[in-house]
Amino acid sequence: MRVLITGGAGCLGSAVSAHLLDQGAEILVIDNFATGSRSWLPDHTKLEVLEGRVDNVSLVSNAFESFQPTHVIHAAASYSDPDDWVEDVLTNTAGTAVVCQAAQVAGVSQFVYLQTALCYGRPSASPIRVDHPLAPFSSYGITKTAGEQFVRQLTVPWVSLRLANTCAPHLSIGPIPTFYTRLSDGRSCFATEAVRDFLDVSDFLALLDLVVDRPDISGAFNVSSGEGHSIREVFEAVAQHLRLSDVSVPMHPIGDDDVATVVLDPSETNSVYGWKATVDFEEAISRQLQWYDANGVGTIASHLKPVVEEGA
């Protein structure tokens, strides 16, 4: 198996790269290192790394022609600045169109797209079924969802995996690294009653193996535990891990650019692939925090606009 992984030096991309290398695959990573790092990838004889942008037509076309992948995993994404609409369009939409057309020309055996749960916008029901209307409202969600529409035009087999918040090495977005960093430094935090579902990377990789083994299946699938937990619960888990028994957290209302509840219904994924998440919330968070203990936290990004706290 020869796998071209865009964004393969990012948080999820690097986990996928290492996982598939362990299985004997040959890997070509394309990454511009905007939010990933070459150091997150192993030195391996079957790994080639190409620095560049996915919206660069000639670079992507030449990469497909020279590497001749059998599979594509499109993990590249721009998400670190909610106000940089143009960069999000170039990477998440135009870049996806470029990679899709190259994959179509190459006639790959399968195209896997990593999609955000923000594609659903503010859902009308919870948990969110995979057939729920798509109504993104943030730059990240809009451009990733536009990218998925290009994926749907492929005549080669394709799968779009709509992901819950995934705990993985190098995770540097969202409440877990934010709370860990601020509490470790003795700084203040705030939380909201927003609810999210959380997934351990081992469960995601187990599903990816099943997806890669079934090129006869095309479609969009939710990837989630199906269980919701509040941001306050995340704060409490981090505080407990750091043995901070006397710390409290102010509660803020959910921002206009945020969503109250995003919990995905994975029942269709369970049925089609025979897959179910096995790592519970407490264990997933614990594994993430233990990884931070050993490795630290990198530069934290967010698709939400920053809130400046007094004393921050």
Residue 311 has pLDDT above 50, yes or no: no
Residue 310 has pLDDT above 90, yes or no: no
Q: Which two tokens stand for residue 301?
A: 């990004």
Residue 309 has pLDDT above 80, yes or no: no
pLDDT at residue 140 in the model: 96
Q: What superfamily would CATH give domain 2-168+198-223?
A: NAD(P)-binding Rossmann-like Domain (3.40.50.720)
Residues of the chain with CATH 3.40.50.720: 2-168+198-223
Residue 116 has pLDDT above 80, yes or no: yes
Mean pLDDT of 110-135: 97
Residues of the chain with CATH 3.90.25.10: 175-195+226-263+279-295
Tens digit of pLDDT for each residue in 25-39? 999 999 999 999 999
Neighbouring-strand partners of residue 158: 111
Would you identify the CATH topology of the domain 175-195+226-263+279-295? UDP-galactose 4-epimerase; domain 1 (3.90.25)
Nearest to 7 by CA among 71, 65, 50, 70: 50
Mean pLDDT of 134-149: 97
Alpha-carbon gap, residue 189 to 1, rounded angstroms: 46
Nearest to 118 by CA among 67, 173, 69: 173
For residue 243, report the phi and psi dihedrals to the nearest 5 degrees: 60, 45
Residue 125 has pLDDT above 70, yes or no: yes
Mean pLDDT of 12-16: 97
Taking a C-beta distance cutoff of 8 angstroms, is the pair 6, 99 a contact?
A: yes
Query: What is this structure's pTM?
Result: 0.94
